[in-house]
Structure 1
Amino acid sequence: MIFLTDIYLDHAATTPVRPEVWQEMKPFLDGTYQGNPSSIHRFGREARAAVDAARMTIAESVGAGTEEIIFTSGGTEADNLAVTGAARAREHEGRHVITTEVEHHAVLHACEQLEREGFDVTYLPVTADGTVRVETVQQALREDTILVTMMYANNETGIINPIAEIGECLRGHEALFHTDAVQAYGMLPIDVASLQVDMLTASAHKINGPKGAGFLYVKKETTLHPLIFGGEQERRLRPGTENVPAIVGFGAAVQSLQKERETRAKTYGQLVAHLLTTLASEDVPYEINGIEEKRLPSIINLHFPGTSTEPLLAQLDLEGVAVASGSACTAGSFQPSHVLKAMYGEEDPRVRASIRISVGFGNDEDQMETAAQAIANIAKRQRKILTEN
Structure 2
Amino acid sequence: MIMRTQKGFIVSFLVFYQQQESCSDHGDELKYWCRNCEGSLCSLCLYSNHPHGHQVLLAKNFLEERKQIIKDNATYIGNSVKDMMEEVNFNLRKYLHRMKILTQVQTDVVTLLNDLQKACSIRPVLNLEEKLQDLQNEGLSSLINDGIEVSTVEHAAVGGGDAEKEEKEEEEEGGGDKVATEVVVQVETPPPATLPTVYSRRARLDCRDGRLLLHSLIQRIDSHLSLQLPSEVFLELSNGQRCLGRVYIQLWCHMRRAQQFLALCLGTMGPSLVGAHFRSVSDANKERETIWCTEYASPDGGTGYRELMLDMEWDGEHRREPREGLVVAYSNDVNDYGFGICTKGKPGANFSSPFGEVSSGLEVVRAAVGHEPVTEVTITDCGLVIPDLTP
TM-score (structure 2 length as normaliser): 0.22
Higher percent of residues as strand: 2
Name the larger-Rg structure: 2
TM-score (structure 1 length as normaliser): 0.23
